[in-house]
Amino acid sequence: AQSVTQLDSQVPVFEEAPVELRCNYSSSVSVYLFWYVQYPNQGLQLLLKYLSGSTLVKGINGFEAEFNKSQTSFHLRKPSVHISDTAEYFCAVSDSSGGSNYKLTFGKGTLLTVNP
């Protein structure tokens, strides 16, 4: 079984400032890692994913994340945020062997609010 902890429920930042959204996971098996973004009253959009290989993953909208196996972390970063980045961000994991049908386990989400 896996679990995901998003350490911050809310992160307020000013426009053009850098931001880091933290995610830690726990698993007894190898995992795939994902970050999704959800805008109000919408579904989830995939930002980026780590499957294997380079631990630094680049995604859409200027976001990137780094997989750290020793710290079991997958923090999301952006060097300069925009007002339009205001949304809920979810970190998720799945069993990379296909166990449980690649079922995703989500964190509780982090609300990023970008202020002018």
Partner 1 sequence: GAVVSQHPSWVICKSGTSVKIECRSLDFQATTMFWYRQFPKQSLMLMATSNEGSKATYEQGVEKDKFLINHASLTLSTLTVTSAHPEDSSFYICSARNRGEIPDTQYFGPGTRLTVL
**Number of neighbours of residue 111 by Cβ within 10 angstroms:** 15
Rule CB under 8 A: choose which of 28, 43, 53, 54 binds partner 1: 43
Site membership for partner 1, residue 36 (CB under 8 A): yes
Site membership for partner 1, residue 102 (CB under 8 A): yes
Site membership for partner 1, residue 90 (CB under 8 A): yes
Site membership for partner 1, residue 44 (CB under 8 A): yes
Site membership for partner 1, residue 20 (CB under 8 A): no
Rounded CA gap, 93 and 15, in Å?
29
Which helix (H) or strand (E) covers residue 88, if one does?
strand 87-95
What does the DSSP assignment read for 12-25?
EEETT--EEE--EE
Rule CB under 8 A: choose which of 1, 17, 29, 51 binds partner 1: 51
Rounded CA gap, 20 and 78, in Å?
7
Site membership for partner 1, residue 49 (CB under 8 A): yes
The SS3 call for residue 61 is helix
> Under the rule (CB under 8 A), what is the footprint of partner 1?
32, 34, 36, 41-46, 49, 51, 90, 96, 98, 101-104, 106-109
